[in-house]
Amino acid sequence: MKHRIFLIALLVITAFTSKAQINVQFVPEIYGRNISGLFNCQFINAGARRQATLTISVSERNAGLIAMIRVPEFVIAPGSSPLPVTVARSAAIQIADNRLGRLAKQSNMFPEGDYDYCFELTFTGSDLGPQEQCFSYALAPFADLNLIDPYDGESNCNKRPLFTWQPLIPAVPGSYYQLVLAEIKNGQSATEAINYNLPLINQQNITTPLLTYPSIVRDLETGKKYAWQVSAYKDQTVLNRSEIWEFTVSCTDSIKKKVDTESFREIDDLSRGNFYISTGHIKFAIVNSYEQQPLNYEIVPVDAPEKKIKHLPKVKLEPGKNFIDLDISALGSFKNDKYYLMNISLRNGVVKSLRFVYKNEE
């Protein structure tokens, strides 16, 4: 009796396995943006080896059918396997004669819209019926991946700059950034430097739209030009790529400016409980990671924060590192040996505070 039960169970498992569904894996936010990407699908086969043909259809909610791809017969092996490249090359592609279809045919890219991507497998030499899986995605084109700082064509004396750029929009979960920095040799363009020169920085797996200059990389050299570019990617697929910008490390006035720049304190250092002694000027350095904008700040007495100092100098921040010299000597609102607090509101919502004591010049 036990042997009969075991045999029946074995037959049921065998029958289930032989007819096990083959699952299709497809990531529309990456591969659903163009016609070529539709061939980047995976098949998960938990059963036996199968022969099948594949029909891929792409529809937009308002426009209807946009594209139809018929892939000739191929073998789906047990386990996980991609669509064979040789088979994909033999596929028949039909593009609908409507507005979105014509746009897709011209550029190979699907315009913005709400799409359904359906994959139908038809098995040959088998009693399995057709299997279809569909994936939905609201496709929006990526915004330009714009670089911010160091600015294109600028010259500065920062040999270990902070690199910043705009984030990938729309965001793709699980995506990363890659930053490449290369020296521009004599007679080269920035593009040639990025494509052919050994990079000084080739940093991958960056999760935020900024990169602090790596500590293991040597300083940039005065008088040399450098090119940099950022790419957004996921699973080895490039989603978007920035323009290539160049900048020069120039410290030609370093002897003249050495005394001046040494008197500028980093705003981050001042916010760690230190204070500054002002004799009519407040000198500090701050990084602006955006386009030109006014410095948003206020100064209040420490013992009376509700009494804001009026008629403060207006300052414009340039992209990159700024050395600010606030001349407050002529305001007449500051008292000798009294403590004040300057609050700076940055564009990303961060507020940095600078505490200083005012001293009349003797």
pLDDT digits (tens, 9 = 90+) for 67-115: 999 999 999 999 999 999 999 999 999 999 998 888 888 888 888 899 9
pLDDT confidence of residue 314: 87
Would you state the structure tokens that stand for residue 137, as one six-digit string?
């995605």
- Quick check: 58 and 103 in contact, CB under 8 A? no
The conformational region for residue 300 under phi > 0 = left, psi -120 to 50 = alpha, else beta, is: beta
- Per-residue pLDDT at 246 exceeds 60: yes
Confidence of residue 7 (pLDDT cuts 50, 70, 90): very low
* Cα of 64 vs its chain's centroid, Å: 32
Would you state the structure tokens that stand for residue 178, as one six-digit string?
């890659």
Report the range of poorest mean pLDDT among 38-47, 147-156, 158-167, 351-360.
351-360
Sequence spans of domains, the chain:
21-139, 147-249, 254-358
Mean pLDDT of the chain: 84
d(CA 103, CA 141): 14
For residue 297, give the 3-state DSSP assignment: strand
In order of 110, 295, 307, 349, the CA distances from 314 in angstroms are 48, 7, 19, 20
Same fold, 21-139 and 147-249: yes
Would you state the structure tokens that stand for residue 130, as one six-digit string?
């057709």
**Fold (CATH) for 147-249:** Immunoglobulin-like (2.60.40)
| In CATH, 21-139 is 2.30.42 | no
- Per-residue pLDDT at 201 exceeds 80: yes
* Cα of 85 vs its chain's centroid, Å: 30
Report the range of poorest mean pLDDT among 37-41, 71-75, 111-115, 333-337.
333-337
Spatial CA neighbour of 40 closest among 28, 51, 50, 52? 28
> Which one has a higher pLDDT value, 266 or 294?
294
User: Average pLDDT for residues 249-262, to the nearest whole number?
Assistant: 52
Identity of the residue numbered 72:
P
Half-sphere exposure of residue 174: CA atoms within 13 angstroms, side-chain side: 7
In order of 23, 44, 54, 87, 291, the CA distances from 130 in angstroms are 12, 16, 10, 19, 56
- Per-residue pLDDT at 253 exceeds 70: no
- Quick check: 327 and 350 in contact, CB under 8 A? no
- Per-residue pLDDT at 13 exceeds 70: no
**Fold (CATH) for 254-358:** Immunoglobulin-like (2.60.40)
Element (H, E) at 68: strand 64-76
Which residue(s) pair with 178 in the sheet?
Answer: 231
Dihedral over Cα of 31, 36, 42, 43: its sign = positive
Q: Is 55 exposed, middle or buried (0-12, 13-18, 19+ CB in 10 A)?
A: middle
Element (H, E) at 231: strand 225-234
| Residue 162: other Cβ atoms inside 10 A | 16
